[in-house]
Amino acid sequence: MIRIGIFGATGYTGLELLKLLGRHPAGRIAWLTSENSAGQQFGDIFPVPPALGGHTLIPSAEADCTSVDVVFCCLPHVAAQTHVAAARKVGARAIDLSADFRLRDAATYEKWYGHPHRHADLLAEAVYGLAEVNREAMRKARLIAAPGCYPTSVQLGLIPLLEADLIDTQTLIANAASGVSGAGKQAKVDNLYAEVNDSFKAYGVGGHRHLPEIEQGLNQVAKQPVQLTFVPHLVPMTRGIHSTLYARLKPGVTGADLQALFEQRYAGEPFVDVMPKGSTPQTRSVRGANVCRLAVHQPQGRDTVVVLAVIDNLVKGASGQALQAMNIMFGLAETTGLGAPALLP
Amino acid sequence: MIRIGIFGATGYTGLELLKLLGRHPAGRIAWLTSENSAGQQFGDIFPVPPALGGHTLIPSAEADCTSVDVVFCCLPHVAAQTHVAAARKVGARAIDLSADFRLRDAATYEKWYGHPHRHADLLAEAVYGLAEVNREAMRKARLIAAPGCYPTSVQLGLIPLLEADLIDTQTLIANAASGVSGAGKQAKVDNLYAEVNDSFKAYGVGGHRHLPEIEQGLNQVAKQPVQLTFVPHLVPMTRGIHSTLYARLKPGVTGADLQALFEQRYAGEPFVDVMPKGSTPQTRSVRGANVCRLAVHQPQGRDTVVVLAVIDNLVKGASGQALQAMNIMFGLAETTGLGAPALLP
Amino acid sequence: MIRIGIFGATGYTGLELLKLLGRHPAGRIAWLTSENSAGQQFGDIFPVPPALGGHTLIPSAEADCTSVDVVFCCLPHVAAQTHVAAARKVGARAIDLSADFRLRDAATYEKWYGHPHRHADLLAEAVYGLAEVNREAMRKARLIAAPGCYPTSVQLGLIPLLEADLIDTQTLIANAASGVSGAGKQAKVDNLYAEVNDSFKAYGVGGHRHLPEIEQGLNQVAKQPVQLTFVPHLVPMTRGIHSTLYARLKPGVTGADLQALFEQRYAGEPFVDVMPKGSTPQTRSVRGANVCRLAVHQPQGRDTVVVLAVIDNLVKGASGQALQAMNIMFGLAETTGLGAPALLP
Amino acid sequence: MIRIGIFGATGYTGLELLKLLGRHPAGRIAWLTSENSAGQQFGDIFPVPPALGGHTLIPSAEADCTSVDVVFCCLPHVAAQTHVAAARKVGARAIDLSADFRLRDAATYEKWYGHPHRHADLLAEAVYGLAEVNREAMRKARLIAAPGCYPTSVQLGLIPLLEADLIDTQTLIANAASGVSGAGKQAKVDNLYAEVNDSFKAYGVGGHRHLPEIEQGLNQVAKQPVQLTFVPHLVPMTRGIHSTLYARLKPGVTGADLQALFEQRYAGEPFVDVMPKGSTPQTRSVRGANVCRLAVHQPQGRDTVVVLAVIDNLVKGASGQALQAMNIMFGLAETTGLGAPALLP
């Protein structure tokens, strides 16, 4: 049994993680924190089976990290740092779903997040939890930074092309679209139903915080600094991320079998699904599932490659991927507890 | 008074046109056709004011083109050709909202639409009705092909950059997203509510019929053949198109004031709204309005320009633009009857 | 020209009123207030034509009620009282869209709103602005309380039956459903897109503040105290109210021609549309329009009558009805500026 | 192992059943039929795990009912009769999700469905599969008619009140609202996204086919003929049914503890969740879950009782309830394979 504590259990990623753990044979919840709902039972707030619902939420100040094997931190960045550091201090392993331990460089963190990192000493220990790239390092990790939602879909879509050195690394484009749950459960006018429904817009064009995370990850596989233009959009839907990725084939690259390249790259990956040639994956096809579905196109046979990548931002883009990280970290079968099919229609 | 006949009045573009005409001081409806609803009054089918609702729908076979000054054809391609040709034969002017007269080259038409053009002789006469480029030709036109919805937004977004010769013409990207009304009012499983709701997907990546139309229009302003990668997406919303356009600045182009460029290009245009620097237009901000809203960005100061363009596919992308064409064709003030503000929230 | 001041111009009802006034030939906006956006132009915030957009928002403290003929108050209750009273004090007429002057009895107000009415002296002067019942009183009114959204649809649906004394007054049921814009533009977790989308629920079953307003109005036409069970629901849509009303025919009432009753009652009403027998009106058929559409049914010929009533909560349920009130108050044609058709699809 | 054949596997209820069976330890799929997709693998059409996706669809003519223990029939009514009869003929048990075997009386069937029942001889054998009422009969059944979606929610909401003889049986009202998946996956203009989105309407007010089914079920528990007014509505959402039920307490019934009544009636029921006093259940709280959530209210302490009932129309209202029936029929624990929590947000 793996004893688990969760900081921030009542946000969207906390709830999703709890539900996934409800089917996990080896995870056992020790405690759940919530500042706003402390004292209530989890089942008073959310419709979950009694086994999960019976846990009484505690304030994070009462959370005892010595009583657990691993801590999941489902808090926003900044708040996350403190609790991850506290957990690590007493030897508990930590999986952080915030952005606090994703960037390796404290200066980059400060530039994009607007304040100094308070636990920069832990950055060296942190492993970026994209199993499809860093699986070996994750096995031995004590602190894993679960990748962001956009970064997961963008990286999985571009990795095969970059590893095979087929594309120009300076003209990458990620046109991404997310459901509104990606913004979390905070009361903001911009995320009201009446403000979002039946409309579509870009945002963060000038610079979204996921850009340095994506470029860092792509730099690693490309073994050189890449340049990516990243434009996120808001879709009137609850869950799901769809990334449409554009890359220029290098001069002279002709006749590459991109479909085969993708299929081979992800042949052994349990949570990456390369779709048949010509496919256009829908976000609902991964709703609730820990899967990234990919399709690769070369429109008109011209030299621009288009990759389509869909994930559920709360599952493969957050809590599912975090649980996948736990499975790896504790030597369990990687798919444990993560087999739920998509909910559609 | 301009006497008007409308072929296909009960589809989405027909309905929108009727409602716009309801506020047009100079247009007078002579007849409306519908094969499926012939014999019914328009007001039996749609909630419109009595002045519009009282028209009895007739089958197209009974439409008398000699009794009208102009015919609007709101039928699908192929069906449109026949009626446009019939109208032209008796001297009525025609504004076609289908794709039948947009491509100048009959062979290109046949390639993309899968059958020969039956009235290719009329192609030379047809003027592509994008007023922002072809206004003068439209004044004297007898047959205007109203631009497609995607092509309107993509062209308006790229024209300033191409005219100023600032961008590479071979690496253009149009990542576009449309509401479901763009697919028309035909019973198809793929467009059912339960298939579209709460999901997002690309489609037509291998080749969408709007691609040759867009490239033809861009070739005209670039004065050279351009290459565009066009990926349309389906958004769970009813109306609206959002195009996110990517272009590479030519080597050596630095310090261009793109904001000023766009503002100057569209300074006199009544239906193009260049938004303040840093803006991200929402589709709902043009819902029901004959406006294209544009914003231009240069993320991170790098050499990829991003243009955001939104229109209502049924208004500036179809019926509003068609009415704008009529105003021009008949020497009226271009804005006549087209001043309705957007409906939001 | 009618000089108009608007308190609270940047909420949903304020915006809707502004857009309606944009087409009103006799209204002239003198000032618009907003505490949060004071100093900005209205057009910086919303996509409206330049004629409307050019107004600079002022804080309410700077609003000069002596410079206007009428004040519209689009503020929440409590806040509304103060400004309405200030306007009346200097002789400006006032049309209040909040609940502050709808209930005639200050004690009832205090019971349902939880605090004493601060300007109870004005209650006697206030006329309830449901033109279909109180038109004559509205002509001479100095202060009009625009009816609530739910109350408008429920009253219009039940009035013909109560006036004709056909139904039991003690077993009335109003099962109503509203779009989310009815909750206004306040940042609340419950109204976030991700909380509302793809779900449906009742709320306020124990007692909604519109209940006493509805019963007061129905008592007036029934000339006796009625009992209504009112259950509102939240629909994942932006605009629209749909009320499904149930009433028991009095014993012995058989063979009543309910369809004729409704048609006759509303024969002269410009903004009530009694639909053909068997109809089921959709909320989108009144989206953006100042219309209530009604249909009356008697399922299985049994003695329960079902009335369906739809309005746009922001138009006939708020700003449109308020403008209708102004037209009446100032002796204009009641339909002035209110002829816009519904926006659909 | 229970060998299972499914007629009509590619509709919404077929897909849902397959996914539920994917987690069922005792069910083993023998064959799946589809006329339109015969020859394809299930996984080519839907995103399901490989274990499910590998089944090749066959035309129903090739389905061998002798090779299975039970047949699920997920076809529309009429089509269902034939296949259920064929299965029964060779001794396979059958669970029918259509309306064909729900009504006990062939004449009533003919009246509401417009054609004679072709296998009326099987009606006597058919058990109505509402476990909360008919569990014992279901244990021995060879043919179970799974209840309709609306009828499930309405019956579960009214049963406690009728069994306790607290309410007038002649003035029952069921105001119900359904997501669009309830209409199935057939191409109809009325169910297009652009026709349904952002709107709300009633339908079938004159007489919905679920009315006789509901009244039949309520008559059974009330032990007398009841009269119900049933008005269904269409909600712009994919899944979910919300029934708002109104009943008049019998004269003299005062002080009944309705909350306790409901809690006691459903104390042992695994799939009925009586919520705490004052609750208003959301449909999303049962999305994907085989649960009916109920709340009982007595607004203003008056004599109208309001019951709120929510289910997922595809789970407790169709495939989940059908699988529950199979568990009962084959002596398995009733909850086997049915423990999935709701997917929200």
pLDDT in tens, C66-83: 999 999 999 999 999 999
| D293–A47 C-beta distance less than 8 A | yes
Give the residue numbers of D marked as catalytic: 149
Integer Cα distance of A201 and A191 in angstroms: 12
**Considering only CB atoms, which chain C residues are within 8 Å of D287?**
198-199
Q: Which residues contact A219 (CB under 8 A, 6 or more apart)?
A: A225, A226
pLDDT in tens, B59-78: 999 999 999 999 999 999 99
DSSP, residue by residue, C70-101: EEEE-SPTTHHHHHHHHHHHTT-EEEE-SSTT
Nearest-by-CA chain B residue for C184:
B345
| D343–A288 C-beta distance less than 8 A | yes
Least Cα separation, residue C333 to chain D (angstroms):
31
Q: What is the average per-residue pLDDT within C95-107?
A: 98
Q: Rounded to 5 degrees, what angle do the CA atoms D173, D179, D180 make?
A: 120
Query: Among C59, C141, C37, C20, which Cα is nearest to C29's?
Result: C20
**Considering only CB atoms, which chain A residues are within 8 Å of D238?**
345
Q: Matching CATH topology for D2-124 and D150-313?
A: no
Strands B241-248, B304-311: pairing is antiparallel
**Considering only CB atoms, which chain C residues are within 8 Å of A236?**
193, 197
Least confident range of A90-94, A250-254, B120-124: A250-254
Query: Which of D239, D288, D341 has its CB closest to that of A49?
Result: D341
Give the residue numbers of C marked as catalytic: 149
Which residues partner with D295 through β-bridges? D308
Query: Which of A194, A235, A344 has its CB closest to that of B200?
Result: A235
Give the sheet arrangement for strand D228-234, strand by strand: D201-202, D228-234, D172-178, D241-248, D304-311, D292-297, D272-274
The CATH topology of domain A2-124 is Rossmann fold (3.40.50)
Flag whether the pTM goes above 0.90.
yes
Confidence class for position C44, pLDDT limits 50, 70, 90: very high
pLDDT in tens, C157-206: 999 999 999 999 999 999 999 999 999 999 999 999 999 999 999 999 99
**Considering only CB atoms, which chain C residues are within 8 Å of B49?**
339, 341
**Considering only CB atoms, which chain B residues are within 8 Å of D187?**
187-189, 192
**Considering only CB atoms, which chain A residues are within 8 Å of D239?**
345
**Considering only CB atoms, which chain C residues are within 8 Å of A203?**
none
**Considering only CB atoms, which chain C residues are within 8 Å of D231?**
244, 299, 306
Least Cα separation, residue A199 to chain C (angstroms):
11
Integer Cα distance of A167 and A245 in angstroms: 12
Nearest-by-CA chain A residue for D293:
A47
Strands B201-202, B228-234: pairing is antiparallel
Please report, for chain A, the start and end positions of each structural domain, with discontinuous segments joined by +.
2-124, 150-312
**How high is the pLDDT of residue B282?**
98
| B236–A205 C-beta distance less than 8 A | no
Give the residue numbers of B marked as catalytic: 149
CB C59 within 8 A of CB C33: yes
pLDDT at A49 over 90: no
Integer Cα distance of D270 and D291 in angstroms: 8
Q: What share of chain A has pLDDT > 90, as a percent?
A: 97
pLDDT at A301 over 90: yes
Nearest-by-CA chain C residue for D281:
C201
Least Cα separation, residue C214 to chain D (angstroms):
15
Q: Is C240 on the interface with D (CB under 8 A)?
A: yes
| B286–C345 C-beta distance less than 8 A | no
Three-class SS state of C58: strand
| A188–C180 C-beta distance less than 8 A | no
Least Cα separation, residue B242 to chain C (angstroms):
16
Query: Among A128, A158, A126, A174, which Cα is nearest to A272's?
Result: A158
**Considering only CB atoms, which chain A residues are within 8 Å of B284?**
198-199
Three-class SS state of C167: strand
Query: Which of A181, A238, A285 has its CB closest to that of D47?
Result: A285
Nearest-by-CA chain C residue for A197:
C238
pLDDT in tens, A8-23: 999 999 999 999 999 9
Q: Is D19 on the interface with A (CB under 8 A)?
A: yes
**Considering only CB atoms, which chain B residues are within 8 Å of A286?**
none
Q: Is D236 on the interface with B (CB under 8 A)?
A: yes
Least Cα separation, residue C325 to chain B (angstroms):
21
pLDDT at B90 over 90: yes
Query: Among C125, C127, C138, C95, which Cα is nearest to C6's?
Result: C95
**How high is the pLDDT of residue D256?**
87
Provide Rg for chain D, Cα atoms: 20
| D201–C229 C-beta distance less than 8 A | no
Q: Which residues of chain D have pLDDT under 70?
A: none
What subunits touch chain A, counting only 3 or more CB pairs under 8 A?
B, C, D
Integer Cα distance of A294 and A307 in angstroms: 7
Query: Which of C199, C200, C299 has its CB closest to that of D207?
Result: C299
Residue C82, classified by CB atoms within 10 Å of its CB into exposed (0-12), middle (13-18) or buried (19+), is middle
CB D44 within 8 A of CB D10: no
**How high is the pLDDT of residue D20?**
97
Q: Is C293 on the interface with D (CB under 8 A)?
A: no
Residue A290, classified by CB atoms within 10 Å of its CB into exposed (0-12), middle (13-18) or buried (19+), is buried
To the query of whether residue A149 is one of the catalytic residues in this protein, the response is: yes
Q: What is the average per-residue pLDDT within B19-28?
A: 96
Q: How many beta-carbon contacts under 8 Å exist across B and D?
A: 66
End-to-end CA distance of chain B: 35
Q: What is the average per-residue pLDDT within A306-323?
A: 98
Three-class SS state of C320: helix
Q: Is A236 on the interface with C (CB under 8 A)?
A: yes
Three-class SS state of B325: helix
DSSP, residue by residue, A199-242: --EE--TT--THHHHHHHHHHHHHTS---EEEEEEE-SSSS-EE
Q: What share of chain B has pLDDT > 90, as a percent?
A: 97
**How high is the pLDDT of residue D19?**
96
Nearest-by-CA chain C residue for A235:
C193
pLDDT at C108 over 90: yes
Query: Which of C12, C186, C196 has its CB closest to that of A193?
Result: C196
Least Cα separation, residue D197 to chain B (angstroms):
7
Q: Is D227 on the interface with C (CB under 8 A)?
A: yes
Say how many C-beta atoms besides its own lie within 10 A of residue C327's C-beta: 21
For C150-313, CATH number out of 3.30.360.10, 3.40.630.30, 3.40.190.10, 3.10.580.10 equals 3.30.360.10
Q: What is the average per-residue pLDDT within B255-274?
A: 96
Confidence class for position C254, pLDDT limits 50, 70, 90: confident
Query: Which of B12, B186, B238 has its CB closest to that of D197?
Result: B238
Query: Among A6, A38, A24, A46, which Cα is nearest to A185's?
Result: A46
Least Cα separation, residue A183 to chain C (angstroms):
9
Q: What is the average per-residue pLDDT within B200-221?
A: 97
Least Cα separation, residue D30 to chain A (angstroms):
20
Q: Is C237 on the interface with A (CB under 8 A)?
A: yes
Q: Provide the 8-state DSSP code for B337.
A: T
Name residues 165-224 of chain A within 8 A of C (Cβ).
179-181, 183, 185-189, 191-198
pLDDT in tens, B290-324: 999 999 999 999 999 999 999 999 999 999 999 99
pLDDT in tens, A184-243: 999 999 999 999 999 999 999 999 999 999 999 999 999 999 999 999 999 999 999 999
Give the sheet arrangement for strand B70-73, strand by strand: B27-32, B2-7, B70-73, B93-96, B143-145, B126-128
pLDDT at A255 over 90: no
CATH of domain A150-312: 3.30.360.10
| A197–C238 C-beta distance less than 8 A | yes
Integer Cα distance of A202 and A214 in angstroms: 18
CB B232 within 8 A of CB B202: yes
